[in-house]
Chains A and B, each alone.
Chain A
Amino acid sequence: LAKTTQPISMDSYEGQEVNITCSHNNIATNDYITWYQQFPSQGPRFIIQGYKTKVTNEVASLFIPADRKSSTLSLPRVSLSDTAVYYCLGASTGGGNKLTFGTGTQLKVEL
Chain B
Amino acid sequence: NAGVMQNPRHLVRRRGQEARLRCSPMKGHSHVYWYRQLPEEGLKFMVYLQKENIIDESGMPKERFSAEFPKEGPSILRIQQVVRGDSAAYFCASSQETGLQETQYFGPGTRLLVL
* Number of residues of chain B lying within 8 A (CB) of chain A: 32
Q: Which residue from chain A places its CB closest to the CB of B55 in the assembled complex?
A: A96
**What is the CB-to-nearest-CB distance from B93 to chain A, in angstroms, rounded to a whole number?**
8
A to B CB contacts below 8 Å, 14 in the list = A41-B89, A41-B109, A41-B111, A42-B109, A49-B103, A94-B100, A96-B31, A96-B56, A98-B45, A99-B35, A99-B104, A100-B45, A103-B40, A103-B42
B107 at the interface (CB under 8 A from A): yes
* Number of residues of chain A lying within 8 A (CB) of chain B: 24
Known: A43-B91, A43-B108. A98 touches B33 (CB 8 A): yes
Q: Which residue from chain B places its CB closest to the CB of A36 in the assembled complex?
A: B106
Q: Which residue from chain A places its CB closest to the CB of B109 in the assembled complex?
A: A43
A57 at the interface (CB under 8 A from B): no
Smallest CB-CB A-B distances: 6 pairs: A101-B42, A43-B106, A98-B45, A101-B43, A93-B100, A44-B106
Interface residues of B in 44-100 (CB under 8 A from A): 44-45, 48, 55-56, 58-59, 89, 91, 93, 95, 97-98, 100
Bitwise interface map of A from 89 to 111 toward B, beta carbon under 8 Å scored 1, else 0: 00101111111111110000000
* Pair B45/A99 contact, Cβ less than 8 Å: yes
Mark B residues whose CB is within 8 Å of A. Answer: 4, 31, 33, 35, 40-45, 48, 55-56, 58-59, 89, 91, 93, 95, 97-98, 100-109, 111
Known: A34-B103, A46-B104. A101 touches B44 (CB 8 A): yes
Could you say which of A41, A42, A97, A103 contacts B102, with CB atoms under 8 Å apart?
Answer: A97
Known: A45-B106, A49-B101. 14 other contacts (CB 8 A): A41-B111, A42-B109, A43-B4, A43-B107, A43-B109, A46-B105, A91-B102, A93-B100, A94-B102, A98-B59, A99-B43, A99-B104, A101-B43, A101-B44
A63 at the interface (CB under 8 A from B): no
